[in-house]
Amino acid sequence: MRKINSIFVLIICLLLSTQLTAQKTDTSSFKPHGKPIIKIFSNFHTSLNDGRENSAFEITRAYFGYSYQLSQEFSAIIKLDIGSPDDESQYSLLKRYAYFKNAALRYSKGKLCLNFGLIGLLQFQVQEKFWEHRYVYKSFQDEHKFGSSADIGANIIYKFNEKISADFTIMNGEGYIKLQTDDTYKSALGITFKPVNNLITRFYYDFTKKNITQSTLSTFVGYRFLKRFSFAFEFNYESNYLFQKNKNMSGISTYTTYEINNKFQLFGRYDRLSSNIIKDEENPWNLLKDGSAIIAGIQFTPIKQVKISLNYQDWVPYAENMSNESYIFVNFEYKIN
């Protein structure tokens, strides 16, 4: 692992020095500039479950930050994430903490892009962008803790041509909330391929080695056509979840949208999460959290910076002694960036 890290750092240094030496761009007309980043997710929801009434107004996430273009090649970003420290905690809707989500330096020149610091990760970034409704429901890997959306580390992104690009990342592996304390790193490789117009595919793999190796594999394909309809499918698999030997998880997520016009959109999604049965056990090890999610709704976009959605969300657990969790949501996203 240390050899891989050293080679990665050396490659970054060589590429950066080559780019800086080769460039002869006239920067006399460039003026440094920046812009604020503000994005807020909120909702009102009410339960449809018999005998378990539950309704509330919530602000589930708030992002505040600033990005600054230092030169034509260098830029910096700092962003705070204000939300609950643990979405599974019984107090997650009551407590709010601020974390640094990003604090990074970027170098971008031609086909090459380098990021260093507390960076946004690429594990499910393509999927989240294609889904377009993060304010309604997280992407599959984010929702089920297959990985973090940000971490301290460095990555290199290289665009070979208009059809294919690759990215390699070295990171602490603990996410942006927890601190690195164990001298263990996560390595990740991703390849994005666009064989024809409106079709995008992605392959991703990462691994972290402690006493055992934890790894994540994901594949994604998304297609847009007629400028109105989109469809996507992804498969995700994680072995030795949280470094627990032989405890694996897998799942699929498929989602679709239909643009009625430039203000109204219909969307739907189906997820399925499952875990394996360990030797000498009768049930899957993660049975209490295994299940399927069904989401359907309509989105209204009065202006570019505001999204409003009325939607139905249902979680169907696989455990026979658990009941469905059904809700009606009105979600809001408002942003400046």
Greater confidence (234 vs 176) lies with 234
pLDDT tens column, 85-135: 555 544 455 566 778 899 999 999 999 999 999 999 999 999 999 999 999
Burial 14-34 (b: 16+ CB within 10 A, else e): ebbeebeeeeeeeeeeeeeee
Please tell me the predicted confidence (pLDDT) of residue 96.
64
For 2-18+32-336, CATH number? 2.40.160.10
If 0-12 CB within 10 Å is exposed, 13-18 middle and 19+ buried, where does residue 189 land? middle
Please tell me the predicted confidence (pLDDT) of residue 89.
47
Please tell me the predicted confidence (pLDDT) of residue 336.
87
- Amino acid at residue number 284: P
Q: Which residue has the tokens 């990215």?
A: 167
What Å distances lie between residue 184 and 12, 167, 207, CA to CA? 20, 20, 11
**Rounded distance between C-alpha atoms, residue 84 and residue 156, angstroms:** 31
Burial 106-115 (b: 16+ CB within 10 A, else e): bbebeebbbb
The torsion angles phi and psi of 8, rounded to 5 degrees, stand at: -60, -45
Contact status, residue 328 vs residue 48, Cβ threshold 8 Å: yes
| Entry field: residues in the chain | 337
Residue 178, pLDDT above cutoff 90 = no
Mean pLDDT, range 291-306, rounded to an integer: 97
Distance from CA of residue 47 to its chain's centroid?
Answer: 27
Q: What percentage of residues in the chain have a pLDDT greater than 90?
A: 73
Domain boundaries, the chain: 2-18+32-336
Residue 264, pLDDT above cutoff 90 = yes
pTM score: 0.87
